Chain A
């Protein structure tokens, strides 16, 4: 007889959401967490960075107040207070998860889990945070242990928390660095670059491939680079870090850009070159759990090769996004409960909360072409959108990518003010398998920045109205 129907290991947005759904479906559920409930997302990721970015955005706005006919004197900021606010936001969300676990009668076991052979699912041995150990069994176990910043010690890309930071250090620094090198121009690197630049740091972003935000559509990458350069962020693309060394005053970054060596000096370097899945010390080797390029290999319903053991979220592979983890968590639990869960392969939106914001879903134009689609792409700039002009937020555009043969919306790409709130519209459309006809037939409220979504659709088929 098992102690639980389900044990979830890890309480990030994959794990805790899976636990809630399991509880809703009547499964007796426990969740094991070695640190804070809510995982990286709530405590050291998505949420506290958004708090920082808001401070940066508001401060940046102050320098444009005259555009709105306003003026302010003595504008400034208190860096420790900005950090304190961010930590407070994280604490609030963490309490929220604690409440949710209680509300849904999910037993929280504070400690570090390790799996041992068992049936019908592996046994979970927890080294309790409070001391001692507890072995619990369940019919099903979900691994939701997440990931951490990837470090490359061979070239010095290993954080020390002092001069070489990961996202974690960058979220709670003691002081604002005057000069900063960000290694990696994915969402995490760009968000920190944007925040620190807004507060006045001299920021240089290094990217190994030839454009920033490399997973985004090329047009978005280009526009983003222009927008960030306008704000004073410097970029080195196609740049390989050969050595990251520490000096008395900070760090020295040796680069190779187009065959030429270059050295950058800065107070601090932030390493944001991807993630590494948390697969260690879980007893996976002994159980014979199959891995795929460092991540736990899963089949269509998040099941691993070991009976009764599932894996969701970052530990199970890309994209490393909280909402992907939650989606998999719900899918996995519904599958365990014998329901017919929603499609696992539904497109996952991706958002970067820099200023300006970047949001996308589905295929880029290049990927759609490479996949052989008869691509019809259209775009609409915010500079001719009434609401954007009125709000003084005219940077950026919306781009849509359609299959010309079927009218299927293949992808949508945006850059601009609060576009992360707009991308869901296209998410709904893709999930419901809308065609261009349906999107054209939808009435968008005026005046809204979302009208640019409508116009981009129209433009994809040569019918743009306001351009």
Chain B
């Protein structure tokens, strides 16, 4: 059964790019991590790596082709008959991983270029018609609610007044909660671009869709209201990469492939079991210590990002995490997640390693107490036993909500996380 390799998105805003060069030709055998092509955008040239083993069946786009749309098939890989027919949903994440040059093998299954995860109801794709009554449309507009984010209860899922009232009730009660806070900041006075010296007509204005508004609101609220701080640590991943090759060899017969990101999820879940204080949420009534590590992973999608959740990840094996993560990421990109699949995580991971980002600090995804920002794995000089040596190093940063996770707790979590990554065997005990 052949697998289509799709044009990858190098950034959330990328819509098309130039397929600059092929490193393989039809008939070549490739294995995961092999560079197969180079893609140019206006910003950079990136290498495309194979994720799957197999034989290149055909190159569908000639080298030098410009304006190749994201997610367009660029090549077909014959999967050596090892994998069952992949479902359409399973295809998308099989797209080649893109990495900055000179980095270690793809560190993540979920390219998550934005550090700001959010949770909103399953938004409808842009351009998709939203069925809503005229009154519902007007009420939503007046309340500043996006119809795309409101579930309709009318005939054929039509959004009716009652749905908007319900959504508005939620919004106003949270607005009220904000008002009730004595320290609530006054509304910001936002000046227009013109007032700030940008000439009218010198830019295009892209309307804010529901996802953009939600991201803007949640991130603003979080960054302003949550006292947060970052903790950064380096972890060596050579052993992890080696273990991944072995694990994938073992799982090959099941058609399961474990990514570095899956290993990070597993390590985080295990570390949270050992340091449950880091799996917490601040509430005015008290600190909620979550029973399970429901790991939200940031996935970049068209027009924004979304954080599908691996529930009770501490109870799940790597293979299961890999399968779930792949499915969730694929459906996230297709915008087919159910609200319960991306709402209610207890800890977030944002991975920008495949984008070549060395280090970053994400914004807290309320009400979660922590978010882990995963940078690129890259070969760096390290000092071992007084000697200079080369190791593949990955920098991770834990952003903590200081109301629940103090520096010592955050450090304790990272101290638990680091050995799990550096000696992955310890994850299975």
A432 in the interface, Cβ–Cβ < 8 Å? Answer: yes
**Among listed A8-16, A255-263, A433-441, interface-contacting one:** A433-441
Is the CB of B160 closer than 8 A to any CB of chain A? yes
Residues of A within 8 A of B134 (CB): 432-435, 437-438
Interface string of A389-413 (1 = CB under 8 A from B): 0000000000000000011100000
Min C-beta distance of B167 to chain A, whole Å:
15
Interface string of B147-167 (1 = CB under 8 A from A): 000000001000011000000
Contact-residue size bin, chain A (C-beta under 8 Å from the other chain): 10 to 19
Are A406 and B139 in touch, CB under 8 angstroms? yes
Q: How far does the alpha carbon of A437 sit from the alpha carbon of B135 in the complex, in Å?
A: 10
Check B138 against A406 for contact (C-beta < 8 Å): yes
Bound Cα distance from A438 to B136, whole angstroms: 13
CB distance B160 to A433 under 8 Å?
yes
Judge whether A432 and B138 touch: CB under 8 Å: no
Closest A residue to B135 using CB positions: A433
Q: B162 — nearest CB in chain A belongs to which residue? A: A343
Of B134, B138, B155, B160, chain A has the most CB atoms within 10 Å of the CB of B134
B133 touches A406 (CB 8 A): no
Chain A contacts for B133, CB-based, 8 A: 432-434
* Bound Cα distance from A435 to B138, whole angstroms: 9
Report B137 CB to chain A, min CB distance, Å. Answer: 8
Interface positions of B from 96 to 146, Cβ below 8 Å from A: 133-136, 138-139, 142
Contacts of A434 in B (CB 8 A): 133-135
A250→B161 CA distance, assembly (Å):
56
**Given A432-B133, A433-B134, A435-B135, A406-B160 contact (CB < 8 Å):** no
Residues 267 to 302 of chain B near chain A (Cβ within 8 Å):
none
Contacts of A407 in B (CB 8 A): 135, 138
Task: Write the nearest CB–CB distance from B13 to chain A, whole angstroms.
Answer: 36
Chain A window 173-216, contacts with chain B (Cβ cutoff 8 Å), 1 for yes, 0 for no: 00000000000000000000000000000000000000000000
User: With the chains together, A438 CA to B137 CA distance in Å?
Assistant: 12
Q: Which residues of B contact A433 (CB under 8 A)?
A: 133-136, 160-161
Measured CB to CB, the closest approach of chain A to B32, in angstroms, equals 48
How many Å lie between the Cα of A434 and that of B132 in the bound state? 10
Minimum distance in angstroms from B133 CB to a CB of chain A:
3
**Chain B contacts for A406, CB-based, 8 A:** 135, 138-139, 142
- Indicate the member of B135, B136, B138, B139 with the most A CB atoms within 10 Å: B135
Q: Chain A contacts of B142 at CB under 8 A?
A: 406
Which residues on A sit within 8 Å (CB–CB) of B160?
433
Contacts of B136 in A (CB 8 A): 433
- Complex Cα distance A438/B134, Å? 8
Specify the chain B residue showing the minimal Cβ separation from A429: B134
Interface string of A319-355 (1 = CB under 8 A from B): 0000000000000000000000010000000000000
Which chain A positions have C-beta within 8 A of B138? 406-407, 435
Distance (whole angstroms) from the CB of B147 to the closest CB of chain A: 13
When distances are taken between beta carbons in the complex, the residues of chain B under 8 Å from A438 are 134
- Determine how close the nearest CB of chain A comes to the CB of B150; give it in whole angstroms: 14
Q: Tell me the residues in window 384-401 of chain B with beta carbons closer than 8 Å to chain A beta carbons.
A: none
CA distance A32 to B149 in the complex (A): 48
A407 to B138, CA, bound (A): 8
How far is A433 from B142 in the complex, measured between Cα atoms in Å? 16
Nearest CB on B from A202, distance (A): 49
Q: How far is the CA of A450 from the CA of B135 in the complex (A)?
A: 23
Return B143 CB to nearest CB of chain A, in Å: 10
Least CB distance from A466 to B in Å reads: 25
In the bound assembly, the distance between CA atoms of A430 and B216 in angstroms comes to 36
B contact residues around A408 at 8 Å (CB):
135, 161
**How far is B133's CA from A406's CA once the two chains are assembled, in angstroms?**
12
* Beta-carbon contacts under 8 Å, A411-467 to B: 432-435, 437-438
- Please, which residue of chain B has its CB at the minimum distance from the CB of A345? B162
Give B161 Cβ to nearest chain A Cβ, in Å. 5
Q: How far, in whole Å, are A435 and B133 apart by their CA atoms in the complex?
A: 9
Quote the shortest CB–CB distance from A457 to chain B (angstroms). 13
CA distance A347 to B142 in the complex (A): 25
A433 shortest CB reach to chain B, Å: 3
Give complex CA distance A407, B142 in Å: 12
Cα–Cα, bound, A406→B142 (Å): 9
How far in angstroms is the closest Cβ of chain A from B135?
4
Residues in B with CB closer than 8 Å to A432 are 133-134
A407 to B136, CA, bound (A): 11
Q: Which residues of A contact B161 (CB under 8 A)?
A: 408, 433
- When distances are taken between beta carbons in the complex, the residues of chain A under 8 Å from B135 are 406-408, 433-435
**Distance of A407 Cα from B155 Cα, bound (Å):** 22
A342 to B136, CA, bound (A): 17
With both chains docked as a complex, state the minimum distance between the C-beta of A376 and any C-beta of chain B, in angstroms. Answer: 14
In the complex, what residues of B have CB within 8 A of residue A437's CB?
A: 134
* Bound complex: CA A435 to CA B134 (Å): 6
Q: How far is the CA of A432 from the CA of B154 in the complex (A)?
A: 10
* CA gap between A408 and B162 in the complex, in Å: 13
> Which residue of chain A has the shortest Cβ distance to B139 in the bound complex?
A406
A406 to B137, CA, bound (A): 10
User: What's the Cα separation between A434 and B138 when bound, in Å?
Assistant: 10
A50 to B309 alpha-carbon distance, docked (Å) = 64
Cα distance A438–B135 when bound, in Å? Answer: 10
User: In whole angstroms, how far apart are the Cα atoms of A147 and B392 in the complex?
Assistant: 85
Q: For residue B136, which residue of chain A has the nearest CB?
A: A433
Query: How long is the Cα–Cα vector from A115 to B108 in the complex, in angstroms?
Result: 67
B161 to A, closest residue via Cβ = A433
Residues of B within 8 A of A342 (CB): 155
CA distance A452 to B42 in the complex (A): 62
Q: 8 Å CB contacts to A: which residues of B156-208?
A: 160-161
Which residue from chain B places its CB closest to the CB of A435 in the assembled complex?
B134
Per the bound structure, the CA–CA distance linking A407 and B137 in Å amounts to: 11
Interchain residue pairs with CB less than 8 A apart (20): A342-B155, A406-B135, A406-B139, A406-B142, A407-B135, A407-B138, A432-B133, A432-B134, A433-B133, A433-B134, A433-B135, A433-B136, A433-B161, A434-B133, A434-B134, A434-B135, A435-B135, A435-B138, A437-B134, A438-B134
Give me the interface of A with B, judged by CB distance under 8 Å: 342, 406-408, 432-435, 437-438
A-B contact sample (16 more), CB < 8 A, given A406-B138, A435-B135, A435-B138: A406-B135, A406-B139, A406-B142, A407-B138, A408-B135, A408-B161, A432-B133, A432-B134, A433-B133, A433-B134, A433-B136, A433-B160, A433-B161, A434-B133, A434-B134, A437-B134
